[in-house]
């Protein structure tokens, strides 16, 4: 059954005081985690509620460093800053030695760790690492089709595609243009989002997760899912990447047509929420389903709505802010971890990947915490308590 605005508004709202309490609970858990996760990073998802230590690999380690920076902002405690700075050195080494970076997720990795370090403390190694990462990402730009190739070796015909998640990698390029004065980074990002919007948005305003591009003509060919339930369904986190990704490009480009795109993609997300406002992992599933939830999708969408509300007319801004406050309250109530003995994560009930007939994923991190869910939950809470200056 379609969700309505009245349905969303019937969930209790929240105020800055409640957000601050939830943020304090999260910061206390982060503090306890520093001993294990300073010289190591957190695994992408928890196992039976607990993250395991890993090296600086995969696309997800920047979220934990971003969480530490948010804890530093919330408290001013130098222990957080010192831990985050140790991790910035790890990111510099990672990009210099090109460790596990043959993919497009440079924004997820370097915006929240290294750009954050530079913006918050003027850390020059953070700036250096993030600019190297922007250069590396720029190498994935394909002139034929005007997009950033997500995965695999660049130019590989079987991998000639973009994915919706990449919208969150674009701010690294916008930032690189601002810092260097070289427009080429931002132009690639602008071209990428134009191509992406041409192909991933369906007529009903749901989105494809991934879309192939013809390597000869540069024209979009067909969309398929990677992590969604069906090729034609809306993977909840993919739709959320769309919500926040469009808002972030609007922040940098102020392209008027993105307002309409944002509203369409976000309204689809809101209309397909179940009664308790915590999305199932794919919008094929609704209230009463026994399928797992993906709390991280809600946290990402909340951040996107709070960001975009800054630029909308009063009526629409109020609508998205009200929806975001209810969703965040639902996350605090139903998914916020209150007991470090039950989990060392911050946001329970996420899903990294769920096996289905039409995707190629194995079950991974099902009904577990994941590092990006934790990060966006903390970012959303931080946005509620102050006028937060973005790391993106």
Nearer residue to ligand GLY within complex by CB, 107 or 145: 107
Residue 165 engages ligand GLY in binding (rule: CB under 6 A): yes
Note whether 52 and 43 are within 8 A (CB).
yes
Tokens of 115: 């750009």
User: For 183-235, where are the alpha helices, taking DSSP H only?
Assistant: 184-200
Q: What is the DSSP string of 286-352?
A: -TT--SPB-HHHHHHHHHHHHHHTTTS-HHHHHHHHHHHHHHHHHHHHHHB---TTT-SSSB-SEEE
What residue is closest to ligand GLY based on CB?
165
Note whether 163 and 225 are within 8 A (CB).
no
Residue 354 engages ligand GLY in binding (rule: CB under 6 A): no
Residue in 15, 100, 105, 367 annotated catalytic:
105
Tokens of 188: 């690639």
**Taking the C-alpha atoms of 306, 307, 312 and 316 in order, what is their torsion angle to the nearest 10 degrees?**
-20
Catalytic residue status for 333: no
Among residues 104, 237, 329, 349, which is the contact residue for ligand GLY, using CB under 6 A? 237
Residue 109 beta carbon to ligand GLY: minimum distance, rounded to whole angstroms: 11
Residue 349 engages ligand GLY in binding (rule: CB under 6 A): no
Nearer residue to ligand GLY within complex by CB, 227 or 239: 227
User: For the chain, where are the alpha helices, taking DSSP H only?
Assistant: 5-9, 16-33, 61-75, 78-96, 106-110, 116-121, 124-138, 170-180, 184-200, 236-253, 257-271, 295-308, 314-335, 371-385
Residue 140 engages ligand GLY in binding (rule: CB under 6 A): no
Catalytic residue status for 39: no
Residue 165 beta carbon to ligand GLY: minimum distance, rounded to whole angstroms: 4
Residue in 15, 39, 100, 165 annotated catalytic:
165
Q: How many residues bind ligand GLY (CB under 6 A)?
A: 3
Residue 237 beta carbon to ligand GLY: minimum distance, rounded to whole angstroms: 5
Nearer residue to ligand GLY within complex by CB, 108 or 250: 108
Nearer residue to ligand GLY within complex by CB, 165 or 282: 165
Residue 265 beta carbon to ligand GLY: minimum distance, rounded to whole angstroms: 16
Nearer residue to ligand GLY within complex by CB, 64 or 80: 64
Nearer residue to ligand GLY within complex by CB, 59 or 285: 59
Task: Assign 230 to helix, strand or coil.
Answer: coil
**Taking the C-alpha atoms of 211, 309, 138 and 133 in order, what is their torsion angle to the nearest 10 degrees?**
-120
Residues 216-235 that bind ligand GLY (CB under 6 A): 227
Tokens of 185: 């980074």
Residue 117 beta carbon to ligand GLY: minimum distance, rounded to whole angstroms: 22
Residue 46 beta carbon to ligand GLY: minimum distance, rounded to whole angstroms: 15
Work out the burial of residue 361: count CB atoms within 10 Å of its CB; fewer than 13 is exposed, 13-18 middle, 19 or more buried.
Answer: middle
Site residues for ligand GLY per CB under 6 A: 165, 227, 237
Q: Which residues are catalytic?
A: 105, 165
């Amino acid at each position: 059954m379609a969700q309505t605005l009245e349905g969303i508004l019937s969930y209790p709202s929240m105020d800055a005081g409640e957000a601050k309490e939830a943020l304090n609970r999260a910061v206390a858990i982060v503090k306890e985690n520093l001993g294990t996760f300073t010289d190591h990073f957190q695994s992408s998802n928890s196992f039976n509620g607990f993250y395991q230590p890993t090296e600086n690999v995969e696309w997800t380690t920047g979220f934990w460093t971003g969480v530490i920076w948010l804890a530093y902002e919330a408290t001013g405690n130098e222990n957080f800053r010192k831990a985050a700075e140790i991790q910035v050195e790890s990111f510099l080494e990672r990009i210099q030695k090109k460790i596990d970076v043959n993919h497009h997720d440079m924004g997820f990795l370097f915006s929240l760790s290294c750009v954050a370090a530079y913006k918050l403390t003027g850390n020059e190694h953070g700036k250096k690492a993030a600019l190297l990462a922007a250069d590396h990402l720029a190498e994935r730009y394909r002139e034929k089709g005007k997009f950033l190739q997500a995965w695999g070796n660049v130019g590989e015909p079987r991998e000639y595609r973009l994915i919706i998640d990449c919208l969150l990698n674009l701010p690294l390029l916008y930032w690189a243009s601002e810092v260097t004065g070289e427009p080429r980074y931002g132009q690639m990002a602008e071209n990428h989002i134009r191509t992406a919007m041409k192909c991933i948005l369906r007529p009903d305003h749901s989105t494809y997760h991934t879309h192939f591009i013809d390597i000869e003509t540069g024209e979009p060919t067909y969309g398929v899912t990677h992590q969604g339930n069906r090729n034609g369904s809306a993977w909840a986190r993919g739709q959320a990447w769309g919500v926040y990704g469009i808002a972030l490009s609007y922040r940098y480009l102020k392209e008027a047509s993105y307002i309409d795109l944002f509203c369409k993609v976000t309204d689809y997300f809101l209309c397909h929420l179940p009664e308790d406002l915590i999305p199932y992992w794919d919008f094929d599933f609704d209230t009463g389903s026994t399928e797992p939830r993906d709390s991280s999708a809600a946290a990402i969408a909340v951040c996107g709505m709070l960001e975009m509300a800054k630029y909308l007319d009063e009526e629409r801004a109020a609508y998205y802010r009200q929806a975001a406050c209810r969703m965040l309250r639902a996350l605090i109530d139903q998914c916020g971890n209150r007991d470090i003995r039950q989990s060392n994560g911050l946001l329970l009930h996420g899903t990294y990947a769920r096996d289905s007939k039409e995707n190629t994923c194995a079950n991974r991190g099902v009904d577990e915490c994941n590092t990006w869910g934790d990060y966006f939950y903390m970012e959303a809470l931080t946005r509620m308590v102050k006028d937060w200056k973005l790391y993106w």
